[in-house]
Amino acid sequence: MRYVAPTREALDRRVLASPPLSHWSGYAAFVEGDAWPDVDALNACWSGESRHRFVTQDKALLADGLHYEERIAKRGAIATRPRNWHDLFNAFVWLRHGPLKRALNARQVAEIAIMGPRERSRPQCALTHFDEAGMVVSLRDPAMLAAWDTHDWHALFWTFRDAWLRGDARVEVFGHALLEHALTPGKLLVGKALVVMGQGDALARCAEAIASGAILNDPLELRPLPVSGVPGWHPDTGDEAFYTTAPCFQPLRAGRVYPAPL
C-alpha cells in the first residue's frame, strides 16, 4: 500500500523531537512553519558554491524531455514538486549529503546511457533503493555485525543497547522516503543499510565506494535494518518484548547472505 504522509496542517509536530527527524533539526523551520518553503528558500541553504539548484517541477520544466537524473547531471537542476513532503526531504538530503547524492546521480546517469530511460538495471534498483530508504550504519564491534547477519534483533538492539547509547553504533538516515515515513507517529521504520566498520568518515567512504562502482550493483547488497529498534527511536524500545513481537523484526530468509561491510 502506498504511503500517504500527513498533511502539513495535520502533522503531529512531536515527531520532530525524536529520531530520525530530530537529527535534521537544522531544517526544522521548513517543516514546522505554516507555509511551505519555495525553491528560493531552499536554494539559499546551499553551503559554499554549488552548480546544483532546486527548480520547481512544472510542465515547462518537464518539456525539456530529460530524465530526472539526466537533468541533474546536465543542468544541475533538481526538479522539486511544491507542497510535497517527499521532495522537501530530498532537498534536505541534497543540502546535507551532496557528495553521496552526486555519486548516486553519476551512477544513475551512466546506467541510463546503457539501459535507456525506460528500463532499469540491477545497479539502478540498488541505487534507487538506497536513495529512497537508505542509511549508513557505523559499527565498531564485530559481534554486533554477527547478530545483524543472522537477524538476531534482540541481541543487536537489546543485548548491545549500551553500544547504541554510547555512540559506538550510529545510524545516519539518508533516504528521503524513510524520513517522510517518519512523519507518522510510532510508525515502524525499516531502512536499507550500508555498513561501515571502524572509525572515520563513514559517509565519505560510502560516497567513494558508490562513485567507483564498488558497491550498489545489486539491491541484495543492502541490509534491511528495522531502525525503530535503535534505543530511543521508538516509544517501545525500553520494552524487551518489543524486539520479539513487533512485525518489523523479521527473521532471516533462507539462503540470504550479506556482503562484508566497508
Report DSSP letters for 183-223, one per residue.
Answer: TSTT----EEEEEEESSS-HHHHHHHHHHHTSS-SSGGGSE
Any domain includes 206: yes
Report d(CA 171, CA 223) in Å as an integer.
13
62-112 pLDDT, tens per residue?
Answer: 999 999 999 999 999 999 999 999 999 999 999 999 999 999 999 999 999
* Number of neighbours of residue 200 by Cβ within 10 angstroms: 11
25 and 90 together in one domain: yes
In the chain, the DSSP E strands lie at 53-56, 77-80, 134-139, 170-173, 191-197, 223-225
Predicted local confidence at residue 3, as pLDDT: 96
Same domain, 241 and 133: yes
Considering the domain architecture, whether residues 223 and 150 belong to the same structural domain is answered as yes
- Model confidence at 261: pLDDT above 90: yes
Q: What average pLDDT score do residues 152-179 get?
A: 98
Of the candidates 26, 25, 177, the residue with the CA atom closest to the CA atom of residue 89: 177
Residue 140 and residue 75 in one domain: no
Q: Looking at residues 217-237, what average pLDDT do you find? A: 98
Tell me the average pLDDT of the chain.
97
Provide the domain limits for residue 46. Answer: 15-97
Q: 34 is written with which cell numbers?
A: 505554516
Cα 190–Cα 261–Cα 121 angle in degrees, nearest 5: 65
Q: Is residue 154 part of a domain?
A: yes
Q: Are 194 and 135 found together in one domain?
A: yes
Q: So what's the pLDDT on residue 93? A: 99
Quick check: 90 and 72 in contact, CB under 8 A? no
Same domain, 93 and 134: no
Residue count (the chain): 262
Residue 145 has pLDDT above 90, yes or no: yes
Is residue 5 within 8 A of residue 183, CB to CB? The reply is: yes
Q: Does residue 93 belong to any structural domain of this protein?
A: yes
pLDDT for 178 beyond 90? yes
* β 134-139/191-197 pair status: parallel
Q: What was the pLDDT predicted at 111?
A: 97
Look at residue 118 in the predicted model and tell me its pLDDT.
84
Please report, rounded to a whole number, the percentage of residues in the chain having pLDDT higher than 90.
Answer: 95
Q: What is the residue type of 255? A: G
Work out the pLDDT band at 49, boundaries 50, 70, 90.
Answer: confident
Domain count, the chain: 2
Model-level pTM? 0.96
Whether 188 is in a domain gets the answer: yes
Look at 36 and 118; give whichever has higher pLDDT: 36
Asked whether residue 148 falls in the same domain as residue 232, the answer is yes
The pLDDT score that the predictor gives to residue 48 is 80
What one-letter code names the amino acid at 226? Answer: P
208 shares its domain with 161: yes
pLDDT reported for residue 1: 79
Residue 185 placed within a domain: yes
Closest by alpha carbon to 105, among 21, 182, 210, 25?
210
The yes-or-no verdict on residue 117 having pLDDT over 90 is no
**Within a domain: residue 260?**
no
Instruction: Among 97, 114, 140, identify where a domain stops.
Output: 97
- Reported as a pLDDT band with limits 50, 70 and 90, residue 42 is very high
Query: Does residue 109 lie within any of the structural domains?
Result: no
Give pLDDT, residue 202.
97
